[in-house]
Amino acid sequence: MRSSGDGAVGGALGRSLGESGPYPLQSSADEPSTETVGYRGPTACAAAGITYRQLDYWARTGLVEPSVRPAYGSGAQRLYSFRDVVVLKIVKRFLDTGVALQNIRAAVQHLRARGFADLERMTLMSDGATVYECSSPDEVVNLLQGGHGVFGIAVGVVWRDVETALSQLHGERVDTGETLIGNNPTDELARRRRDRAV
């Protein structure tokens, strides 16, 4: 296996994004076309472990834009999907390990092109210069034996972390704008609101 060094994200066999092969880059047919729940900026930040300044900068530069509702004009609130928040957390992990921004940008584009079902089984590996996609334990081992992988991000683990975090935070129904109260047992105000609603 050879690293291209150009920052392209590929499969464990060094496959670049545009090549055909066993890892087609299209969304799965069963993926929902619209999100029913969105998360405002502060909630996305809390779940992804980033600052609002990072979130705002990444949205303005096009690194990770909200897919549910972008900010239009003054006072408009961005709404991020669950998948957006997973990508935000992955970007944060890449930055923490020193991966170059252009390589992170390529990885984000790759993640956006994949179907929901693909993400949970994916591991992203990097040697700092290139980001690789691995979809099986054998591919991870092959990559490590080739001397390319230094660290990895199991997307399924990030997925579950974000799922747990968002279950305790507030969301918003996209169709009605209704606030969905998270299930945080330490949030007394949220508990009182839930009790009043019942």
CB-CB contact of 169 with 38 (8 Å): no
Report the predicted TM-score, pTM, of the whole model to 2 decimal places.
0.72
pLDDT of residue 110: 82
pLDDT of residue 148: 66
pLDDT of residue 32: 38
pLDDT of residue 92: 95
Q: Is the dihedral of CA 124, 155, 94, 145 positive or negative?
A: negative
pLDDT in tens, the chain (198 residues): 223 334 344 433 333 333 322 222 223 333 333 468 999 999 999 999 999 999 999 999 999 999 998 877 666 789 999 999 999 999 999 999 888 888 899 888 888 877 666 777 788 888 777 788 888 888 888 878 877 667 888 888 999 999 999 999 989 988 888 888 876 555 555 556 656 665
Identify the CA nearest to 133 among candidates 141, 142, 143, 125.
Answer: 125
